[in-house]
Amino acid sequence: MSDTIPSGFTLPVQVVEAGGVTAWLAEDHAVPVVSLSFSVPGGASLDPEGREGAAALAAALLTEGAGDLTANAFQEAVRDAAISFSFSSDRDEFSGGFRCLTEALPEAVRLARLALSAPRMDPTDMERVRARAIAGARQALENPRGQAGRAFWATALPGPFGRPPGGTAESLASLPGELLKGVPGRQFHRAGLLVAASGAITAEQLRETLATLFGDWPAGDPAAVPVPPAFAARGVQVVRMESPQSSAVFGQPGLAVDDPDWEAAGVVMRVLAGGGFSSRLMNAVRVERGLAYGIGAGAEPVAGRSVIIGSVATENARMGETLSVLRAEWARMAASGPTDAEREEAIAYLTGSQPLSFTSTRQVAGILLALRRNKRPLDWLANRPARLAALSREKLAEVAARVLRPDELAVTVAGKPEGV
Amino acid sequence: MPSLTRRAALATAAAVPAVLATRAPAAPPPSAPAIAAPPPIPPGRPLFGATLWRMPNGLRVAYVGTRGAPVVAHYLFYGVGSGDDPAGRSGLAHFLEHLMFKGSAHVADGEFSRRVAREGGQDNAFTSRDVTAYHQTVEATRLKLVAMMEADRLRAPLFPADGVEPERAVILEERRQRTDSNPRARFREAYEAAMWGAQHWRGRPIIGWADEIRAITRQDMLDFHQRWYTPGNAVLVVNGAVEEDALRRVVEDEYGGIEGREVTPRRRAAPSDAPLQSRLVRNDAGVREAQMLRSWIAPSLTWGRNDADREHAIPLEVLAHLLGGGPGSRLHKALVQSGLAVGAGAGYDSDDLGASSFGLYVTPRGDTAPAKLEAEVEDQICRLLDQGVTEEEVARSKRQLTAGALMSLDGLGAAPRLLGGALAIGLPADAVEQWPARIRAVTPEAVMAAARSVFTHPSMTGWLLPEGVRAP
């Protein structure tokens, strides 16, 4: 490979510990901003059957009044100090965090502690936020992309992980207040808690922050997170709805996050379906045939495993052709893997773009948290270019053949598609 | 300001340039001799501290030397957008933006993005009503490469004839995806057309009407490029790990040799005195949740019914926050906290070229009768005009609007987007650099004068409703 490939830029990462909680910190005082992110396993997968959206609704309620601050008072304090809080519940984890100016860090920590330890969940606020969530859940199904995604996940992972993490209009309406109030107790445990921080915060400040935010959390094991089922979607599923364009969500089983071939599969997917214009799918579907505005796919981790998922939208009459092109490209990659030139370009991109991930505190905190979630060592990024460079074309072809299953590529289409 | 990016959201999220997390800093009135000098505002510390210069060929350059990761963001803005599309050719500015990726004198078709990716960078472009911008984020030593390629397509794009039809199909799919398959977007498009006129520069969709996208020719694009894509109508903004001297050399080497042409003045026809329609009601079988819009024609930093009108632009930003800027705002209290609506707010952009609009939006809660909501909104407007605003409310809005301004330093994207957007529509850099100070200087009297400059004129009300629900 040419010597123009940059090395794997990364920021020095400190490991900071306080009160039984460790955090990864990329300290950088270039701009007066701090980002902190955390996650715990669980999330929507712990919502009882028929009670989808409980964790997500509770997450939204954390910043709607806490301690002696009413919802209004809490929101005013947040906005006076320009703190941006994010609490959410995904398929397999509960996550949260904030971004703020360094001068507002004490206020952000005070409010975050209140939100995590003493959310009020007053009845009127609960009903107000519930109504908003119900409207959002209904709006999400107004377009074909929302319908296709909903149906795809339900078919692909039947059970807790296939449900909409934000709930449905029906489930949200049925959530008892006591269930919502119990969410922090079910989700928040120090076991499994991952924390990352970035920006203008010292290790000492982070230590204090960890103790303040998480010191009171019980140590014990989190509620058992279910094991994801085998990928179950097959063939083509159509959700009929009135629309001039059909939207397709497609996918197949992916590797476990700790699979030794995980990074090699990432290179294969970059060539087949990655971002930008360089992928085979983008070229075949958009550039050559003008079938769609965009197409792409990648691995989405779910509780340590993953689903390869992608999407494309095209006018109803051309969905059949689009899916044919998709399947042909999937099969071609499975059969012979990337070419030498494709291999080199993909690795050059994945290596060279590494510094781009370190240009904002939120990105850095997010990356550090993702590394921890996937159980990567501290030097993972520093050594990544060397690992990628060592992947031969033959190895990538072998991994493409192992991972890609053109015959099992499942598709959910919403709209009025023809020829599928 | 709405804008269209070239790519679907499928693109990898790893290192997309940051979008602005604080409220978008807007801009002050451009200096024009006809306008009485505004009261002096004590200047604050400039937000980005950009260095500005102009090349002999007219290209303006703004440089922000953010340190941190060895990365630079390179943005080239053109002072042209969908608002400049010729009559009957809506969508031309955006179509041309797509074709700019199809090669130039020294860069083959498709090679631009491929080359950027090969060097570990990311590139994209967007078209708004007022500007078209092309941007790349790359490891710092790749700056010269992207400047060379960007300059090449400013100078001599190919617009290959055989690339036009596939790209037209892509754009029609983009339109179907963004607008035609989304009932809210369909309604918003119809609403703007009803308010301003389907052929008015503000009433046409940025992506264009479908039949006009179909009518655009390659010659249209060549003419449009010839007219607007010239150094004197462009603003280059670079932010990141590069020294000023080194940047000056790169800019001189890559852009300096491009011949300047006369810059076409931009025309933004004044709107009619009132919205063309006062009401638009649409029942849509695809819609599950109703929505109400109400909007007024409003002054901007660049346009007013009279010269004094433009002085209202910055106070209108404070008014929009006070009235509908989330929890704690008047509309939120009156409509959301009261249980009538699940969402309510106000929207206003001061940094538009030409007339702006001041808009309110409400999403009703459950079965709240539309008539009741409409009456409550009207009541809030009347109360504001009759009883005014308090010192405390204004102080709160100014505090909350400006508290997070420095967060825009976190990431490389905000400075170019804000500075390039302002400079490309003729506003001075201070419109961005001194935005916090200008907001802080707004008085309650100025807010009320601004409110009267908008709310005493006719408005338009729109309802998007599920089938079978009656509008008031």
Residue A142 is assigned to a structural domain of this protein: yes
Average pLDDT of chain A, as a whole number: 95
Domain count, chain A: 2
Residue B303 Ramachandran class (φ > 0 left, ψ -120 to 50 alpha, else beta): beta
Look up the CATH number of the domain holding residue A263: 3.30.830.10
Question: Quick one: A75 and A109 in the same domain?
Answer: yes
What is the average per-residue pLDDT within A269-294?
94
Question: Quick one: A198 and A267 in the same domain?
Answer: no
Token pair 């959310």: residue: A119
Task: Tell whether the model's pLDDT for residue B11 goes beyond 60.
Answer: no
- Alpha carbon separation from B312 to A115, B295, B315, B320, B442 (Å, rounded): 39, 17, 5, 12, 10
Question: Quick one: A166 and A301 in the same domain?
Answer: no
Residue A3 is assigned to a structural domain of this protein: no
Domain with residues B279-415+428-465, CATH architecture = 2-Layer Sandwich (3.30)
Question: Quick one: A160 and A271 in the same domain?
Answer: no
pLDDT of residue A220: 79
Asked if B407 and A290 come within 8 Å (Cβ–Cβ), the reply is no
Task: Tell whether the model's pLDDT for residue B47 goes beyond 60.
Answer: yes
Task: Give B196: exposed, middle or buried? Use CB within 10 Å, 0-12, 13-18, 19+.
Answer: buried
- Domain limits, chain B: 3-255, 279-415+428-465
How far does B159 lie from chain A, in Å, by closest CA? 14
What is the average per-residue pLDDT within B182-189?
97
Nearest to B337 among A35, A128, A142 (CB): A128
Superfamily classification of domain B3-255: Metalloenzyme, LuxS/M16 peptidase-like (3.30.830.10)
Task: Tell whether the model's pLDDT for residue B25 goes beyond 60.
Answer: no
How far does B390 lie from chain A, in Å, by closest CA? 17
Asked if B8 and A293 come within 8 Å (Cβ–Cβ), the reply is yes
Question: Quick one: A148 and A47 in the same domain?
Answer: yes
Cross-strand bridge partners of residue B362: B292, B344
pLDDT tens, position by position, A188-221? 999 999 999 999 999 999 999 999 999 999 987 7
Question: Quick one: A43 and A183 in the same domain?
Answer: yes
Residue A230 is assigned to a structural domain of this protein: no
Q: How far apart are CA A127 and CA A134, in angstroms?
A: 10
Nearest to B181 among A75, A101, A144 (CB): A144
Task: Tell whether the model's pLDDT for residue B20 goes beyond 60.
Answer: no
Residues in chain A within 8 Å Cβ distance of B14: 275, 353, 356-357
CA nearest to B466, candidates B189, B278, B184: B184
Q: How far apart are CA A283 and CA A51, in angstroms?
A: 43
Selected for mutation to probe chain B from A279, A360, A416 (highest B CB count within 10 Å) is: A360
Residue type at B10 in one-letter notation: L
Residue A163 is assigned to a structural domain of this protein: yes
Residue A367 is assigned to a structural domain of this protein: no
CA nearest to B203, candidates B276, B274, B143: B276
Count CB pairs under 8 A between chains A and B.
247
The Cβ of residue B55 has, within 10 Å, a number of other Cβ atoms equal to 19
Question: Quick one: A241 and A294 in the same domain?
Answer: yes
pLDDT of residue B203: 97
Quote the distance between the C-alpha of residue A359 and its chain's center.
20
Question: Quick one: A123 and A197 in the same domain?
Answer: yes
The last residue of one of the domains, among A155, A184, A214, is A214
Q: How far apart are CA B6 and CA B225, in angstroms?
A: 18
- Alpha carbon separation from B264 to A91, B119, B225 (Å, rounded): 53, 36, 12
Residue A222 is assigned to a structural domain of this protein: no
- A278 with A349: CB under 8 angstroms? yes
pLDDT tens, position by position, A296-349? 999 999 999 999 999 999 999 999 999 999 999 999 999 999 999 999 999 999
Question: Quick one: A253 and A353 in the same domain?
Answer: yes
Task: Tell whether the model's pLDDT for residue B2 goes beyond 80.
Answer: no
- Name every residue whose Cβ is closer than 8 Å to that of residue B333 and which is 6 or more positions away in sequence: none
**Residue A62 belongs to what domain range?**
14-214
Q: What angle do CA B277, B282, B287 make, to 5 degrees?
A: 145
Nearest to B121 among A4, A291, A353 (CB): A353
Residues in chain B within 8 Å Cβ distance of A385: none
